[in-house]
Amino acid sequence: MLFLECVVDGVGANMTRLITKTLITLGALSKEDMAQKLVSFGSNGVVMLQGIHTNVIVQIQKEYGPHIVGFIF
């Protein structure tokens, strides 16, 4: 299923919210499921996904567990 979502600005926090909302809504995952089942997250090198403290990968690790491996390709 594909849907469009308006992103006000492309900062990491907004992208993290959009990604997690999509996983919860379309992936039918609870926050607990994501903490237990999400093992990695990859991105294509977009700058907002790469910041040292505010990137999407760091935010997902803080919210759902440091065990989640992030990679940029």
The CA distance from 47 to 2, in Å, is 24
Kindly state whether residue 12 falls inside one of the protein's structural domains.
no
Q: Which tens digit of pLDDT belongs to each residue from 9-52? A: 667 778 888 888 888 888 888 889 888 888 888 877 766 666 67
pLDDT at 14: 81
Q: Give the bridge partners for 9, in sequence order.
A: none
Q: Is the dihedral of CA 48, 51, 53, 58 positive or negative?
A: positive
Kindly state whether residue 13 falls inside one of the protein's structural domains.
no
| Segment (H or E) for 63 | helix 56-64
Question: Is the whole-model pTM more than 0.95?
Answer: no
Per the structure, the complete domain to which residue 34 belongs is given by 30-73
Name the CA dihedral angle for 73, 65, 26, 49, rounded to a multiple of 10 degrees: -30
Number of domains observed in the structure of the chain = 1
Kindly state whether residue 16 falls inside one of the protein's structural domains.
no
Kindly state whether residue 15 falls inside one of the protein's structural domains.
no
